[in-house]
């Protein structure tokens, strides 16, 4: 059981920090993103990714803890009586659990999160065994020579897919620690493509985690206290953020996630989000607004900050899907919340793809906008107003 202990870190001397990063900002950001992306962290089994997040935040946070649910919460203290701002990104990734191992040692899968079965046949996977070791396997697929005419155009449902780990019996699989309930992710490595574009697994939402770690490093001497929540189990119902936001009771919140783009061949409907055009402010998401409707004051704050920094932004009304922002907004007496997303192609696949320029711009946007949430600004724009 994880304990909710706080770790008191060395106090820092405060002073102004330039928002503009120095050196190879894209290369440095990719190094962090790759470390996060390549790690194992299926919802409910976030131990490896969590340890990396703690390591990255240990020296820059004033307070740092892992709560009983598994969320990492880092704090940068502001001025006494200043607003409490929550930043959120989720560390978990979609994956699978082992559902069944048959007598020949073939492994069947139970999906965790929203998979399309079209992308799975022929993929390599990693199974986290009972002793913590990794067992590799492949999702088996019939060669075209053996397909019947009826099978050629069929999508195989997930419950019919199987993983071949190279054994010949259930007993061999169990000796390797492959048993019912063990988590499974895809065996992929993040790599750079041309220019500033990169591809890998679990950019949803490891890029959000990387953005907020880097933004957290930029903060120094800000008036508001910033609570960075790196949440677990977003992909299975926004669970970690629900727990953390109810405990922290923030005054305002910014959630950072990814959003799908429609700038690829075959995309239908009007084009609204593209790679390389900047962060995306999510105005509303979920089915018919059932997710988050971003608070207009928080939207305006991001718009004004982006203009000040010379950062291009995009706006979106997303018809399906939502983020932790939807549940954070409902904490306590209500939390003015906005979601800002990094545009990403091929979400919920092994080959998610984004532009580092959009991610680095999001770092600067979130850090600078948060600095503006002073006590005076909050009183004028967001504080409860007693009418009578």
| HEC readout, the chain | CCCCCEEECCCCCCCCCCCCCCCCHHHHHHHHHHHHHHCCCECCCCHHHHHHHHHHHCCCCCEEEECCCCCEEEEECCCCCCCEEEEEEECCECEEEEEEECCCCCEEEEEECCCCHHHCCCCEEEEECCCCCEEEEEECCCCHHHCCCCCCCCCCCHHHCEEECCCCCHHHHHHCCCCCCCEEEECCCCEECCCCEEEECCHHHHHHHHHHHHHHHHCCCCCCEEEEEEECCCCCCCHHHHHHHHHHCCCEEEEEEEEECCCCCCCCCCCCCCCCCCCEEEEECCHHHCCCECCHHHHHHHHHHHHHHCCCCEEEECCCCCCCHHHHCCCCCCCCEEEEEEEEECCCCCCEEEEHHHHHHHHHHHHHHHHCCCHHHHHHHCCCCCCC
Tell me which residues are annotated as active site.
234
């Amino acid at each position: 059981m994880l304990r909710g202990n706080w770790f008191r870190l060395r106090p820092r001397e405060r002073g102004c920090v330039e928002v503009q990063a120095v050196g190879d900002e894209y290369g440095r950001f990719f190094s962090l993103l790759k470390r996060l992306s390549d790690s194992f962290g299926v919802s409910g089994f976030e131990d490896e990714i969590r340890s990396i997040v703690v390591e990255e935040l240990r020296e820059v946070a004033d307070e740092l803890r892992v709560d009983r649910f598994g969320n990492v919460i880092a704090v940068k203290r502001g001025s006494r009586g200043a607003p409490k701002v929550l930043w959120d990104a989720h560390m978990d990734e979609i994956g699978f659990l082992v559902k069944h191992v048959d007598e020949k040692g073939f492994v069947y899968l139970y999906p965790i999160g929203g998979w399309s079965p079209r992308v799975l046949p022929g993929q390599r996977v990693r199974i986290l065994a009972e002793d913590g070791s990794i067992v590799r396997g492949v999702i088996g697929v019939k060669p075209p020579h053996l397909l019947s005419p009826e099978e050629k155009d069929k999508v195989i449902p997930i419950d019919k897919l199987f993983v071949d780990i190279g054994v010949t019996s259930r007993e061999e699989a169990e000796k390797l620690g492959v048993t019912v309930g063990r988590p499974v992710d895809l065996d992929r490595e993040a790599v750079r493509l041309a220019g500033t574009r990169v591809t890998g697994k679990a950019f949803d939402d490891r890029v959000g985690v990387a953005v907020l770690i880097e933004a957290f490093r930029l903060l120094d001497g800000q008036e508001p206290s910033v609570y960075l929540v790196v949440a677990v189990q977003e992909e299975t119902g926004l669970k970690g953020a629900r727990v953390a936001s109810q405990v922290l009771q923030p005054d305002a919140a910014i959630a950072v996630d990814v959003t799908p783009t429609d700038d690829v061949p075959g995309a239908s409907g009007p084009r609204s989000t593209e790679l390389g055009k900047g962060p995306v402010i999510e105005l509303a998401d979920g089915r018919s607004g059932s997710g988050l409707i971003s608070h207009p004051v928080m939207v305006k704050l991001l718009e004004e900050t982006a203009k000040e920094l010379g950062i291009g932004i995009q706006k979106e009304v997303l018809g399906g899907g939502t983020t932790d922002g939807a549940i954070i907004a409902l904490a306590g007496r209500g939390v003015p919340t906005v979601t800002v997303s990094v545009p990403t192609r091929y979400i919920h696949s092994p080959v998610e793809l984004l532009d580092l320029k959009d991610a680095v711009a999001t770092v600067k946007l979130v850090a600078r906008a948060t600095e503006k949430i002073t006590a005076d600004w909050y009183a004028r724009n967001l504080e409860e107003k007693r009418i009578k």
